[in-house]
Structure formats: C-alpha cells, structure tokens
A and B are shown apart, each in its own frame.
Chain A
Amino acid sequence: MNWNAQARAVTVCFGLVGVFSVYSVRLIDLQIIEHEKFTALAAEKHSHKQIIYARRGIIRDAHDEALAENVPVKTVVADASHIRDPVALAAAIANQLEMDPRDLADKLNRTGKGSKHIVLKSEVPEQKAEKIKESLRAANLRGIYFDQDFVRIYPNGQMLSQVIGFVDHEHKGTMGIERTMQDFLQGVDGFRYIETDRTGKELVPYRGQENAAKDGSNVKLTVDLGLQNILETELDAACAQFKPKNATAIMMRPQTGEILAMASRPTFDPNKPGDAVPEQEKNRSVVDMVEPGSTFKIVTTSAVLEEKLVTPDTTVYCENGHFQYAGRLLRDAHPMGVLTVHQVLMKSSNIGVAKLALQLGEARLYEYIRRYGFGQKTGIALSGEISGLVNPPHRWSKLDITRIPMGQSVAVTPLQMVTAMSSIANGGKLMKPMIVSEITDETGRKVATFTPEMVRQVISAGTARKITSALKDVVSKQGTALKAAVPGFRVAGKTGTAQKVDPRGGYLSGRYVTSFVGFMPADDPRFTLLVLLDDPSAKQGEAFGGTVAGPIFSRMAERMARYLDLQPTEEIPPQRVALGQKRVALSRSSRD
C-alpha cells in the first residue's frame, strides 16, 4: 500500500477525531447522561448539611432573675476516614474524655474507615473541649471534631421545680412551663450546605443555601422569686414540723390572677430529673384534687347573700351540733345554737351552712359552684391541669345538698380554691390565673404580652364585702383561725379541715386535709395565699386548718408583707414589739 502524505494526514485526522469522539462521548455521559448520579456522589463525599443550632429561650421570674438557662457543651465525634493512627489518637484524648484508651482505640477501629460520625462523648464542658483540642494540635492528630450542644440548667435547684419543669435529652419540655411554652422556647434550627476539602475543612466559596437559626423566645413569669423563696422555706419548715403526706402553697395577686409563688412537697431537683419519682414531679396545685372542707363554705354563704335570700344578720338555728337530715346525722365540731349568717361563716358551722344550702336549692348551689370556676380547668399555662370533680345535681344523692356546702362530695384543685378566694378579695371578679407575663425574642422585643383576664363577675362587690367582713372575723378570737393572724395587718380567710377520703369508700378516721386560704390586708388585698397540708402529723384533736395551716399562713404572710413593704394597718401587739426588741438585742450582742 502506497501511503502518500495526504492519505497519512487523513488517517491521523480520523484517528484523532475517533479518539476525541470517544472522549466526547464519555464527557457527555459523565456531564449530561449520568450527571445526577455523579453530582450525588460528589455531594455525598464533599457536601454536607451543617446544622446551625438555635438557642433555647430562657425562663425568668418577674424581676428577670434566670430560672432556666443554657450551658454550652460539646459532643466529641470522630471521623474515621480522617484518622491515621487510632491508637495514638486514643492515647492522646482518652484521659480527658475519662475513657479507657484501649476501649477508645477499639471503638475507633471497630467502626472502620467508612464511619464519618462516631459519637465518643456528649456533654463535654467547653473548657475540657479546649484542652482536648490543644492536645490534638500538639500531637498533630486529626479526625476528632466537636459538635456544639447545650445542657439546660436550673440555677435555683428545687425551687419552683414543678412549675418550671425540665427538658428531655432532645431538649423538649416534658412538664411545667418548659412543656407548655415549648413552641416559644425551642426556636428553629438553621442550616447551611457546605463543601469540604479532603481534610474536612470547609470551602467557604462553595457555600450553598443558608438559613439562619432563630433562637427561642424568652419567657417571663409572674412569679417573684423573693416571695417564692419565703413560701418554700416556710413550707419546708412546716413539712419538717408536721410531716404531711404532701403539701401545697399558692400565692396569687387577687386583682389580676397573677401567680406570685407556687410550690408543692415532696419536690425534686430538675437538674437531676432521673433521680425523681413521679410523686415528686407533681405540681399538686393543678394536678391533684382534694375535698376542700370548710373553705368551700364561702360558695354557699356568698350565694345566699347574692340571691338576697338572707342578710348577714339573718339567724340560723344550728341545732346544738346535731342535725338529722336524710336519715344521717350532721355534726358541728362544737355545739352551736342560733347564729347569724355572718357567724355561720365565722365559726364554720356545718349545720348552719347546710341549712343555707337547703334554702338556696340544688340548682342554684350548683350554678354558683360552677360560677366560682369549680369543675372546670382554670386554663393556666401549666401542664396536666385537671378540672376537679363537681357532679351535676341530677347525680346528687339526697344527702349531698347538706354535704357539698361544707366541702364534701366535691373535689377541687388548690389553684381553683385560691382563685375562688381571690374573687372574694377583689370584689367578686373571677380572674383567670396567669403565670406567664410576657414572651420576648432574643433581642428583647416583645412577642406576646399576657394581660389579666376576667372570666366573669361571680358575685357583686357588695356581697364580696359582706363575705370579707365575716372572713375577717374568722381570724379573731371568736373565729376558727386566730393563729393565722399577722401582727400589724387585718387578715381575712377561711380554714378547712376535710376528712381524708378512703379509697375503699367513706372517710378515714383521724386523718385530715388541713388548709387555710386567706388574703391580706383584708380591706385592700395585696395577695391571696393558700396553705394546704395533706395528712399532717399533729397531736390528737389538733389537726385542724386553724391550728396547722393557720400558723404557717401567718409566718408566710408576715415575711411576705415585709418583702412587699406593706404598711401595717393595725397596731402591732406589745408582745410582738418585745420579741422584736429581743431579736435586735441578740443581733447586737452577736456583732459585739
């Protein structure tokens, strides 16, 4: 074959065209036909979705004192594909991670080269993480990374624990404010798509879509930690003295329904929720119901006054302590004859209030019970609230009309009871209890403000004044709660001593739920306070609301009045002045 120059050139050209065609076909295959597949492969190898974590909002009290905070921590992770010498790496960091070097090396080896995210330890404090980084830098080792995380802390420990609640391992609120305000507190995590080089370092110019994180909002409560501290220390002292099965105390501002303090015992530390048993986690103010006992007498008494069936001076014959009705005997603690309506409440006569209820009738009594908010949830922003138990009249036995007025055959939550008493204190308005005052974003801008909400006018202001007048006399020598008196102030309140319900039916003999709910100063109330002790260990015949819960109320209210700088409206008794001088003298001598 005679190859001339032209033929050779043509052959070479065709050869080149052929070669380039093969390359072109392959390029088209790579770039167009299998584009998606290779893009995905490249993305898998070099592109990552980086999560930008949102900070959980802070919970604060009414004076901006932090109740729940976040502490930044690191999660230590390993990328096996970047580790050259697992043994050396394990030796460098095992000590600081408080792990055995051999176990750590095994873990790194076992997972193989393909594992890019091996969690070695979570919740490592920032300072420790810095030390680990320094060790890695010094030893020139790589393959260990640190993910940002946080742990929730509650700086005040047990204080207000059942109200605040706590979060689970996914940072979701499981109870209390942490749960009810979860949507506001949690924020929204952001993300960005990034590309990394072979060492895992981000290539910023190739950064993809980015969505900034939106931090959670901060929640401000109506609770005043100063008042809460008083309430809890006194409640602890009461529990040490009386050893009740459980105890509850609530303080409310009657004009607005704001909760100023709230506590239950037993309690727990939300920093260690794993150590708590369910009984300790219960916020008994809203999740427990009890028969209220005589504190419930305010309902019937105010109803008959409001309906103008009686006046405070109308007399009721109290049968000298023995009243036979529907084949059952109703007794008073002390035999009483003729009492006025005012005195019925003041002396807490069961027979007197039963007779008033008979005069009122079942339908109207039930209506007033409901008007006071019993048998329905208050709607407070706390988890697990129950509605209590109030049966409609068609389910009442013949006896119930005489038992319900004295707080039997109904069950109420402590919060319902303090709300009802607040409505007497504020002139007859039932206020919706509120515990969250405002929500602000991370810049401090208000997201939501909660204002006091009146549910309804239960009774007129005039009737409320008449009831207040009787309740003031409850805390006097003639009444049942002299020990609830606060020096320098006029207190209005009502005692409750309810026999404990036997789960097998009937009542338990000698076991009581004692309570006192009152407000102060009586003529210009600044707060309503409830103290309730379930089954206190008191001497025989002394387990009454007036003798157990009354003094606790007095101690709490005295300290609270001082904290709130309330000006005394009454003269302080001389013995108190003498006691005060003794205290000051003691303090002087201790300083000398």
Chain B
Amino acid sequence: MTRNRRNITHSIKVASIFKVVVSTSILAIAGLSYVYLKNQLHQYGEIQRRLEYELTEIRTANEAVRAQITQLSSRGILEKKLAKNSLGLLPIASDQIVRLNQRHDGVGDELRVVSNRGFNQ
C-alpha cells in the first residue's frame, strides 16, 4: 500500500463525523422540540379547557343570580314584603297633590336679565 492510501484508510474523518453529529443533533433537537411543543400544546389545551369551563361556570352562576334577583324584585314578592312589613302606606289623596300651573306665555323657559345690584354692593 502506498503511504497516501494508508492515510486515507485509517485517518479520522472529522468532517464526516461532524456532519453526522450535526445532522443527528438537528434531528434529535427537531424530534425533542416536536415532543416538547406537542406537550406544551396539550398543557395549554388543558389550561384553555379549564378556563373555558370556569368561564362557563361563572356565566351560569351569573345567570342564576340574575334570575334570583329578578324573582326577588318581582312585583308579587315586593307586594308580599310590603304587606308583611306593614308599612301602612296609603295612596295620596287627589286633594293632597299640589300641581304648579304650567306657563304658556313662552317666557318661563327663557333666560332673563336679573338685577344683581344688591349683591354687588
């Protein structure tokens, strides 16, 4: 064998090893990244599911409370409470209502000059 041939056969192929290591690493990183991202996806999916559930529960609770408020403030319930608490309320008699006559001369709503002399002194 010539010297050159011996060199070729037994020398460490750094470039090839580097290529293999790099490509394997890339593949490994890609694979691990895929697994990691997939895992993340499931974790975030789980968080999303939980938050959606909580949101639905809050909305439902809100609706239940709103319905309860509606029921408790309905006329029937309020009238029962009124009767129970015996507030002794009576309608105001017609003669007890004093109405201010509306002005129809068109002056009432206008801005008018007033004398401030007394206040300026």
A interface residues (Cβ-Cβ under 8 A, vs B): 55, 66, 69-72, 126, 148, 150, 153, 155-157, 159, 201-205, 225, 229, 487-488, 559, 562, 567-568, 572, 576-577, 579-581, 583-584, 586-587, 590-591
**Residue interface bits B42-55, CB-to-A below 8 A is 1, else 0:** 10111011000000
The interface size of chain B toward A, counting residues with CB under 8 Å, comes to 31
| B66 proximal to A (CB < 8 A) | yes
A156 to B77, CA, bound (A): 8
- Tell me if B25 is interfacial: C-beta within 8 Å of chain A: no
Contact partner of A581 (CB less than 8 A), chosen from B61, B75, B95, B99, is B95
Most chain B C-beta atoms within 10 Å of own C-beta, residue among A55, A150, A204, A580: A204
The answer on a CB contact under 8 Å between B61 and A126 is yes
Q: B96 touching A576 by the CB < 8 A rule? A: no
In the bound complex, do residue A586 and residue B94 qualify as a contact, i.e. CB atoms below 8 Å apart? Answer: no
A72 contacts B64, CB within 8 Å? Answer: yes
Contact of B49 with A70 in the complex, beta carbons under 8 Å: no
Q: Contact between A159 and B63 (Cβ–Cβ < 8 Å)?
A: no
Task: From A229, A487, A559, A580, give the contact of B96 (CB < 8 A).
Answer: A580
Determine whether B106 belongs to the interface, using a CB cutoff of 8 Å to chain A: no
Within 8 A of A (CB), among B69-95: 70-71, 73-77, 88-95
CB within 8 Å for A579 and B46 given contacts A159-B75, A205-B41: no
B33 at the binding interface (Cβ < 8 Å): no
> Does any Cβ of A come within 8 Å of B23's Cβ?
no
Q: Could you tell me if B93 and A203 are in contact, using CB atoms closer than 8 angstroms?
A: no
Query: Quick one: which of B73, B76, B90 contacts A159, CB cutoff 8 A?
Result: B76
Q: Is the CB of A584 within 8 A of B90?
A: yes
A211 to chain B, nearest CB (A): 16
Select B91's contact among A488, A568, A583, beta carbons within 8 Å.
Answer: A583
CB distance from B104 to the nearest CB of A (A): 13
| A584 CA / B99 CA spacing, docked (Å) | 18
Contacts of B48 in A (CB 8 A): 204
Within the complex, what minimum Cβ distance (angstroms) separates A198 from chain B? 15
Could you tell me the distance between the alpha carbons of A71 and B61 in the complex, rounded to whole angstroms? Answer: 10
CA distance A572 to B98 in the complex (A): 13
**Distance between Cα atoms of A251 and B95 in the complex (Å):** 26
Cβ-based interface call for B56 (8 A): yes
Question: Residues of B with Cβ closer than 8 Å to A?
Answer: 41-42, 44-46, 48-49, 56, 60-61, 63-64, 66-67, 70-71, 73-77, 88-96, 99
CB distance from A197 to the nearest CB of B (A): 10
Is A487 touching B94 in the complex (CB atoms < 8 A)?
A: yes
Complex Cα gap A562–B67 (Å): 31
B95 / chain A contacts, CB cutoff of 8 Å: 572, 576-577, 580-581
| Chain B residue contacts of A202, Cβ below 8 A | 49
The answer to whether B88 touches A587, judged by C-beta atoms less than 8 angstroms apart, is yes
Q: In the bound complex, what is the Cα–Cα distance between A72 and B65 (angstroms)?
A: 10
A567 in contact with B99 given A205-B42, A590-B88 (CB within 8 Å): yes
Asked if A126 and B99 sit within 8 Å, CB to CB, the answer is no
Whole-angstrom CA separation of A587 from B77 in the bound complex: 23
Measured between alpha carbons, how far is A6 from B71 in the docked complex, in Å? 91
Query: In the complex, which residues of chain B have a beta carbon less than 8 angstroms from the beta carbon of A567?
Result: 99
On chain B, the residues within 8 Å of A568 by CB distance are: 94
Known: A159-B76, A205-B42, A572-B95. A153 touches B63 (CB 8 A): no
Task: Check if A572 sits within 8 Å of B94, measured CB to CB.
Answer: yes
Q: Could you list 13 further interchain pairs (A-B, Cβ under 8 angstroms) beyond the known A71-B63, A587-B90?
A: A69-B66, A70-B67, A72-B64, A126-B61, A153-B70, A155-B77, A204-B44, A229-B75, A488-B94, A568-B94, A577-B95, A583-B93, A591-B88
Q: Is B93 a contact partner of A579 (Cβ separation < 8 A)?
A: yes
**Which residues of the other chain, A, contact B45 by a CB distance below 8 angstroms?**
203-205
Q: What are 29 sample pairs from A and B whose C-beta atoms fall under 8 A apart?
A: A55-B63, A69-B66, A69-B67, A70-B63, A71-B67, A72-B60, A126-B60, A148-B56, A155-B70, A203-B42, A204-B46, A204-B48, A225-B75, A229-B75, A559-B91, A568-B94, A572-B94, A576-B95, A577-B93, A577-B95, A580-B93, A581-B93, A581-B95, A583-B90, A584-B90, A584-B92, A587-B88, A590-B88, A591-B88
CB neighbours of B90 from chain A (8 A): 583-584, 586-587
Per the bound structure, the CA–CA distance linking A159 and B67 in Å amounts to 17
Determine if B64 and A126 form an interchain contact, defined as CB atoms under 8 angstroms apart.
yes
Whether the Cβ atoms of A155 and B71 lie closer than 8 Å is: yes
- Taking CB atoms, residues of chain B closer than 8 Å to A69 are 66-67, 70-71
- CB of B75 within 8 A of CB of A156, answer yes
Contact of B93 with A153 in the complex, beta carbons under 8 Å: no
Residues of B near A201 (CB, < 8 A) are 49
Q: Which residues of A contact B96 (CB under 8 A)?
A: 580, 584
Give the interface centre of A229, A487, A580 by most chain B CB atoms within 10 Å: A580
- CB closest residue in chain B, given A154: B74
Q: Which B residues touch A579, using CB under 8 A?
A: 93
C-alpha gap A584/B74 in the complex (Å): 28
Q: Is the CB of A72 within 8 A of B76?
A: no
Q: What residues of B have a CB within 8 angstroms of the CB of A155 in the complex?
A: 70-71, 73-74, 76-77
Chain A residues within 8 Å of B91, by CB:
559, 562, 583
The 5 closest A-B pairs by CB, nearest first: A580-B93, A204-B45, A155-B74, A587-B90, A577-B95
Measured between C-beta atoms, what is the minimum distance from A391 to chain B in Å?
Answer: 44
The docked-state distance in angstroms from the alpha carbon of A55 to that of B41 is 31
Report the bound CA distance from A488 to B97 in whole Å. Answer: 12
The CB with the most chain A CB atoms within 10 A, among B46, B70, B90, B96, is that of B70
Please measure, in the bound complex, the distance between the C-alpha atom of A584 and the C-alpha atom of B46, giving whole angstroms: 68
Cβ contacts under 8 Å, A157 to chain B: 74, 76
Q: Which residues of B contact A580 (CB under 8 A)?
A: 93-96
Give CA–CA (A157, B77) in the complex, Å.
10
How near does chain A come to B71, taking the closest CB pair, in angstroms? 5
Instruction: Give the chain A neighbours of B41 by CB distance below 8 A.
Output: 205
Q: What A residues does B75 contact at CB under 8 A?
A: 156, 159, 225, 229
Q: How far is the CB of B29 from chain A (nearest CB, A)?
A: 22
